[in-house]
Amino acid sequence: MSEQTLSNLLKEDRRFEPPADLAEHANLTAEAYERADADYEAFWAEQAGRLSWETPFERVLDWDDAPFAKWFVGGRINAAYNCVDRHVEAGHGDRVALHFVGEPVDDTRDLTYAQLKDEVSQAANALTALGVETGDRVAIYMPMIPEAVIAMLACARIGAPHTVVFGGFSSDALATRLADCKAKAIVTADGGYRRGAPSALKPAVDEARAKAASNGHDVSKVLVVQRTGQDLETWDDDVDVWWHDAVGSASTEHACEFFDAEHPLFVMYTSGTTGKPKGILHTTGGYLTGSAYTHWAVFDLKPETDVYWCTADIGWITGHSYITYGPMANGATQVLYEGTPDSPERGRWWDIIEKYGVTLFYTAPTAIRSFMKQGREIPDGRDLSSLRLLGSVGEPINPEAYVWYRHVIGADKTPVVDTWWQTETGSIMISPLPGVTHGKPGSAMIPIPGISAEVVDDEGNPVPDGSGGLLVLTKPWPSMLRTIYGDDERYVDTYWSRFRKQGYYFAGDGAKKDTDGDLWVLGRVDDVMNVSGHRLSTTEIESALVSHPKVAEAAVVGAQDEDTGQAVCAFVILTDEAGDGGKDIVEDLRNHVRKEIGPIAKPRQVMVVAELPKTRSGKIMRRLLKDVAENREVGDVTTLADSSVMDLISKGSKASS
């Protein structure tokens, strides 16, 4: 974000007070900040108390081996029991847990908590029968259908950590993740519905399984949900099993086992600054405490009356914490939607809100910006009066989008909670509390009670109000990642080495404190991009480009983009043999990245160049490439080994645009 945009942002003076009725009945009030400050461990013990523990914990936090944390030491718990069984036992079995909305119109199904208990138990029995044991990893590669949530909970029930891989990722991406966590089994579907047509998933699983096998890792079983009924080219009777056979025939009785609070719950891969995705490890007691508490506090959930909808995919952390675990631990009723916002037509999301009377809605700025473009007539044609709170996540929300969201979708009465967090933090860290904090368009405001954040300079000193620096979390928190799967050293290096002396967690984001002390998260300060709220690594895309036979070298930058926040822009040098690459080279390379990683990584722009700007030590100066990609005057080139390189690139880019 440019300094100019930033100073505009910091002049933002619109304020929206919490609605009086919400404030009066809010789940969390202002005194919670003081209570959490006064005794932070007691505050978290109280939050853990919203869960059902088989054996109570003896100690809240063990930080003796920092930065390796243990929360709720000695406690034993089962996440699936907390998300399902206990609601049935409390007499809420008839409450709808999921209003499933398939992409084909009228393909809907409601599942109550009692039904969910049966299905999760069946799936747990089936996984066990397939040889999955406590501690084994299970990959889940699914469309957004109830079985995806059921599979996650079934894994949790038997203590087999899941790793959900976004269904939009390629077979290569899936293969890397399978091999990294040595998944024993995969749960998938024949396909899902996307923009009105069946879209296959199983062939990618077959390919990924073969690739993982050639890297020395065999996946023993693949459990396949029949969603679309499309033809499957390959079926291996030794490995592939239909969900409706294995789960359908299993018993609905399953006595769940309870695990240590620190038992691994899942591994979620996310992009880091190197080409290799990081497997972020979350454990049971702390993660569930964080996701349940924040969902209750930030969304002001009233489980008896609210209908909640989070539009994220379960392949991302938002889907984990704010579809599967947080809401279900709280006994919420929620919508689960399979498809895209504009299928079969642009008003689909608003139809769903109207039909189910959605009260709490959580989505990403990129979606809001695309609705803004389509015009307010579309939502205006629907009754959205049930909404009482709107949430935003994944990237900074620009004030225009915030105000439009509140005004057009929320009829100017709903608070907007801009929630900052990460795969690593497990749950929301910085957000307004809807009954307490006034709304300030574009600001995530302050850390929620129990969380301590700061904006610091390079030395780790807090910056004064009105200035910017690096965002850090100054105290451990229950839903923090425990490590990077299989790589403790990378965990320490990535998050805890920058401010080792102070013991701060470095989030990788830049932020500003305004003159009121409120926080404005500005985006990544490392080589990580944020495209439509999805995290992508520049290095990962560069590796994908270099794997193309015609590419000798590549540099990727995230350039500002009106629709997607940032967009992938690639600069490539072709090999000598490739000559000029041929007339389709740009399209070929864009599609190559799409195939290697997935559609979200497809570059907006590929520029073929003769040289890349490098320092004398050979480091690519991405800052300069970013200037070109954003059509700006190129900045200081004095540290370049050859300063004429930028002239060539700038001229080339003007000629090709």
**According to CB under 6 A, which one of 247, 507, 529, 574 is a site residue for ligand PRX?**
507
The yes or no reply on residue 521 touching ligand PRX (CB under 6 A) is yes
496 marked among binding-site residues = no
Task: State which of positions 385-404 bind ligand PRX (CB under 6 A).
Answer: 393-396
Task: State which of positions 411-440 bind ligand PRX (CB under 6 A).
Answer: 418-423
CB nearer ligand PRX, residue 283 or residue 653: 283
* DSSP code per residue over 144-212: SSHHHHHHHHHHHHHT--EEE--TTS-HHHHHHHHHHHT-SEEEEESEEEETTEEEE-HHHHHHHHHHH
236 marked among binding-site residues = no
The CB-of-407 to ligand PRX minimum distance in angstroms stands at 19
47: closest CA among 62, 27, 74, 67?
Answer: 27
Using the CB atoms, write b or e for 101-130: b if 16+ within 10 Å: bbbbeeeeeebbbbbbbbbbbbbbbbbbeb
162: closest CA among 64, 89, 269, 69?
Answer: 269
Q: Which stretch binds ligand PRX (CB under 6 A): 28-36, 506-514, 571-579, 596-604?
A: 506-514
The CB-of-354 to ligand PRX minimum distance in angstroms stands at 27
C-alpha span between 597 and 176 (Å, rounded): 11
The CB-of-422 to ligand PRX minimum distance in angstroms stands at 4
76 marked among binding-site residues = no
CB nearer ligand PRX, residue 193 or residue 371: 371
The yes or no reply on residue 596 touching ligand PRX (CB under 6 A) is no
How far is the CA of 174 from the CAs of 125, 188, 201, 209, 400, in angstroms?
A: 25, 12, 11, 9, 37
63 marked among binding-site residues = no
β-strand pairing of 96-101 with 333-337: parallel
240 marked among binding-site residues = no
Phi/psi at 124 (5° precision): -65, -45
How far is the CA of 296 from the CAs of 301, 337, 475, 579, in angstroms?
A: 5, 21, 22, 59
Query: For the window 253-292, what string marks contact with ligand PRX as x by the rule CB under 6 A?
Result: -----------------x----------------------
Angle between helices 171-181 and 202-214 (to 10 degrees): 50
CB nearer ligand PRX, residue 278 or residue 550: 278
> What single DSSP character describes residue 489?
H
525 marked among binding-site residues = no
**According to CB under 6 A, which one of 317, 390, 545, 554 is a site residue for ligand PRX?**
317
C-alpha span between 71 and 69 (Å, rounded): 6
Beta bridge partners, 567, equal 559
509 marked among binding-site residues = yes
476 marked among binding-site residues = no
Residue type, 250: A
Query: For the window 182-221, what string marks contact with ligand PRX as x by the rule CB under 6 A?
Result: ----------------------------------------
CB nearer ligand PRX, residue 191 or residue 396: 396
Q: Which runs of E-coded beta strand occur in 233-302?
A: 240-242, 259-260, 264-270, 278-283
**According to CB under 6 A, which one of 289, 318, 333, 414 is a site residue for ligand PRX?**
318
Angle between helices 284-298 and 40-48 (to 10 degrees): 90
The CB-of-597 to ligand PRX minimum distance in angstroms stands at 15
The yes or no reply on residue 639 touching ligand PRX (CB under 6 A) is no
Helix, coil or strand: residue 403: helix
C-alpha span between 298 and 416 (Å, rounded): 10
**According to CB under 6 A, which one of 167, 508, 581, 598 is a site residue for ligand PRX?**
508
The CB-of-393 to ligand PRX minimum distance in angstroms stands at 5
- What number of H helices and E strands is found in the chain? 23, 30
C-alpha span between 263 and 255 (Å, rounded): 18
227 marked among binding-site residues = no
Query: What does the block give as tokens for 421?
Result: 């967090």
The yes or no reply on residue 310 touching ligand PRX (CB under 6 A) is no
The CB-of-428 to ligand PRX minimum distance in angstroms stands at 8
Task: State which of positions 141-180 bind ligand PRX (CB under 6 A).
Answer: none
The CB-of-321 to ligand PRX minimum distance in angstroms stands at 8
Q: Which stretch binds ligand PRX (CB under 6 A): 324-332, 473-481, 518-526, 595-603?
A: 518-526
The CB-of-418 to ligand PRX minimum distance in angstroms stands at 5
Measured from each CB, the residue nearest to ligand PRX is 423
Site residue total, ligand PRX (CB under 6 A): 22
CB nearer ligand PRX, residue 317 or residue 455: 317
Asked if 585 and 550 touch (Cβ cutoff 8 Å), the reply is: yes
Residue 143: is the preceding peptide bond cis (ω within 30°)? Answer: no
CB nearer ligand PRX, residue 335 or residue 521: 521
The yes or no reply on residue 469 touching ligand PRX (CB under 6 A) is no
The CB-of-76 to ligand PRX minimum distance in angstroms stands at 29
546: closest CA among 571, 577, 579, 583?
Answer: 571
Q: Which stretch binds ligand PRX (CB under 6 A): 17-25, 64-72, 516-524, 546-554?
A: 516-524
> What single DSSP character describes residue 33?
H
C-alpha span between 296 and 399 (Å, rounded): 26
Asked if 291 and 325 touch (Cβ cutoff 8 Å), the reply is: yes
Q: Which stretch binds ligand PRX (CB under 6 A): 255-263, 302-310, 505-513, 649-657?
A: 505-513
> What single DSSP character describes residue 493?
I
**According to CB under 6 A, which one of 47, 289, 530, 605 is a site residue for ligand PRX?**
530
The yes or no reply on residue 535 touching ligand PRX (CB under 6 A) is yes
C-alpha span between 154 and 246 (Å, rounded): 13
637 marked among binding-site residues = no
524 marked among binding-site residues = yes
CB nearer ligand PRX, residue 118 or residue 313: 313
Q: Which stretch binds ligand PRX (CB under 6 A): 323-331, 343-351, 523-531, 603-611?
A: 523-531
The vertex-196 CA angle with 191 and 201, nearest 5°, equals 15
Residue stretches of the annotated binding site = 194-197, 318, 394-396, 418-423, 509, 524, 532, 535, 546, 548, 551, 594
Residue stretches of the annotated binding site for Mg(2+) = 546, 548, 551
Residue stretches of the annotated binding site for CoA = 194-197, 318, 532, 594
Write out the residues near ligand PRX by the rule CB under 6 A.
270, 317-318, 393-396, 418-423, 444, 507-509, 521, 523-524, 530, 535
Residue stretches of the annotated binding site for ATP = 394-396, 418-423, 509, 524, 535
